Chains A and B, each alone.
Chain A
């Protein structure tokens, strides 16, 4: 089996195909600290892509409450249990990936969910973990906690779905790294559904073939960010392209946040797929849980995030979240503004690092009236 380099686990690993990176790689940043699980992204995706027959319980985008929310039921704890206890503490992952854990006669360690596992997309909503005894005070990290995890297909560098398909119906686009499932070629074997540890390939029982998140590729081709990104009312997302640690550009906001400031982490990097959605981890959650979910860099990521105000360039990148529907290929911070540019260098957006503050006097002289604080 060929060896490929996975920078997220800091080492080479086995993969079914030879490692060839696309010309550029679709990526998304998600700030979990800002997500309120309003599901606007979920609905935007649903109405755009999956309102059809056989897609009733299919959510290419979903937001689940961690630690007790799952879609489909138990997706992460089930594959973590199969993978077994692994050492995830160091910068180089010494444990086994899902490819390296493949049972005899299989290409990858996986499991096929039950039909009913998809029946409660919002199970566990707002359920929190931990005790809060009488008289206790919340400290950081919180002893009682939950947070929201918005999820799409990770458009992995080393997709398990792609490796698992015996018909090679799944391909990774050279131009943007988006992973697509050929609807004319698929025969509904569900090997991809079994293989994807994030369970972001789905089976449509009416068309009898599998379907998955298409990364809103028609929008990407027009220089536009995905539906889930541009509809996010909390401005928690930024979608664009990411380089590797070697090719990262400091004037690409995604590269700056992931590779330079290192405040965003991949989801379950130990699985070995090099997923390309990156999460700014929730700052109030116990580190042990976060290390398992986001890898060894999560502690530094939180420390860096808390000091974001001291790094003008980082602040500028963070302020581009939700600032424009277009993909920001380059940005700079200049004269108190973060300025985003498109691929051709045209200015897309200009965001002030600090909003102007207006103070209104409590007493209105013109009307001889007190202003009350109502909204």
Chain B
């Protein structure tokens, strides 16, 4: 509980700091056009000061099981921008602890934004990861992936347990091709196992349990910075992706919905805070 009180305090500070620029309580997010060129990989870039913020109330996920009736994060501070070629969303929230070490009883901080693959104002998908026939695209940033990139290589036992002693691993005595069966999900190229070139996973879904990473279409990028009890995470993507990819057009609008996980509170998968659609208007 102490952690959550601290988080609430830090959040109040965050909201005060951004109140000047914010158009609070509005359900429409204005994506500004910036002269800065994408991809946008700096959540602390100066142009974000010009972007109006929307405070999104985060709700407990109690619709499906397993649920999270008391999620740690109660609101996200959201901004958006584009340069005509790259679109970006900046997400800020209070989190007293940075969680990026994952072992059986420790979970990583994460945040996700979703967009309808086809935007129809009167026929939006379910905000809960879409529904059959109404697909959503989900970009999910992971603190553990950010730590992988900072480390410069995938996590290994000695990163998690510095004093571990192991005699020998199969990959030290076998040829590389032989070791794949000994590498579990890494050996079958499960993209959840480690960061690729970015800390963001590009995924699609048509409802709970259908979330699917697109191995051939990982264009989403981003970066998260944790400082003084606040995560600032930018997620960016080309405005014109490939076929079957979400598109962003200057002067038009789309919708975005959100989810956030506080790893320190054991949040993972459906144990999360979520928020329904808001409108996103892209400046010309």
Task: Evaluate whether A51 and B170 lie within 8 angstroms (CB atoms) in the complex, with A204-B184, A205-B160, A208-B185 already known.
Answer: yes
Q: Which among A51, A54, A191 has the highest number of chain B CB atoms within 10 Å?
A: A54
Q: Contact: B105 with A115, CB < 8 Å?
A: yes
CB within 8 Å of B: which of A173-227?
Answer: 183-191, 193, 202-209, 211
CA distance A112 to B107 in the complex (A): 12
Tell me if B103 is interfacial: C-beta within 8 Å of chain A.
yes
| Interface residues on chain A, number (Cβ under 8 Å) | 37
Q: Contact: B166 with A56, CB < 8 Å?
A: yes
Tell me if B155 is interfacial: C-beta within 8 Å of chain A.
yes
Task: Evaluate whether A53 and B169 lie within 8 angstroms (CB atoms) in the complex, with A113-B104, A114-B105, A115-B103 already known.
Answer: yes
User: Which of A56, A105, A115, A164 touches B106 (beta carbons < 8 Å)?
Assistant: A115
A interface majority secondary structure: loop
CA distance A190 to B270 in the complex (A): 11
CB within 8 Å of A: which of B207-266?
Answer: 208-209, 211, 266
Q: Contact: B190 with A191, CB < 8 Å?
A: no
> Chain B interface: which size bin?
35 or more
The residues of A that contact B156 with a CB separation of less than 8 Å are 53, 206
The residues of A that contact B185 with a CB separation of less than 8 Å are 183-184, 186, 204, 207-209
Summed over the interface, the residue pairs from A and B with CB atoms below 8 Å come to a total of: 119
User: Which of B169, B182, B187, B192 touches A188 (beta carbons < 8 Å)?
Assistant: B192
The residues of A that contact B12 with a CB separation of less than 8 Å are none
Tell me if A309 is interfacial: C-beta within 8 Å of chain B.
no
Tell me if B82 is interfacial: C-beta within 8 Å of chain A.
no
The residues of B that contact A55 with a CB separation of less than 8 Å are 184
The residues of B that contact A19 with a CB separation of less than 8 Å are none
The residues of B that contact A187 with a CB separation of less than 8 Å are 192, 211, 269
Tell me if B44 is interfacial: C-beta within 8 Å of chain A.
no
Task: Evaluate whether A54 and B105 lie within 8 angstroms (CB atoms) in the complex, with A105-B66, A105-B69, A209-B193 already known.
Answer: no
Task: Evaluate whether A112 and B104 lie within 8 angstroms (CB atoms) in the complex, with A105-B66, A183-B190 already known.
Answer: yes
Task: Evaluate whether A207 and B169 lie within 8 angstroms (CB atoms) in the complex, with A107-B66, A167-B211 already known.
Answer: no
Tell me if B268 is interfacial: C-beta within 8 Å of chain A.
yes
Tell me if A91 is interfacial: C-beta within 8 Å of chain B.
no
Tell me if B25 is interfacial: C-beta within 8 Å of chain A.
no
Q: Contact: A166 with B194, CB < 8 Å?
A: no
Closest Cβ of chain B to A110, distance in Å, is 10
CA distance A234 to B193 in the complex (A): 40
CB within 8 Å of A: which of B93-130?
Answer: 102-106
Q: Which among B156, B166, B183 has the highest number of chain A CB atoms within 10 Å?
A: B183
9 contacts between A and B (CB under 8 A): A105-B65, A113-B105, A184-B188, A204-B185, A205-B102, A206-B154, A207-B185, A209-B184, A211-B184
List residues of A whose CB falls within 8 A of some B CB: 51-56, 105-107, 112-115, 118, 164, 166-168, 183-191, 193, 202-209, 211
| Besides A189-B269, A205-B157, 13 new A-B residue pairs in contact (Cβ under 8 A), listed by A number | A51-B169, A52-B171, A53-B171, A112-B104, A113-B104, A114-B105, A190-B268, A204-B184, A205-B102, A205-B155, A207-B190, A208-B144, A208-B155
Counting from the closest, the 7 A-B pairs by CB-CB distance are A105-B67, A189-B269, A52-B182, A203-B104, A207-B185, A209-B185, A207-B184
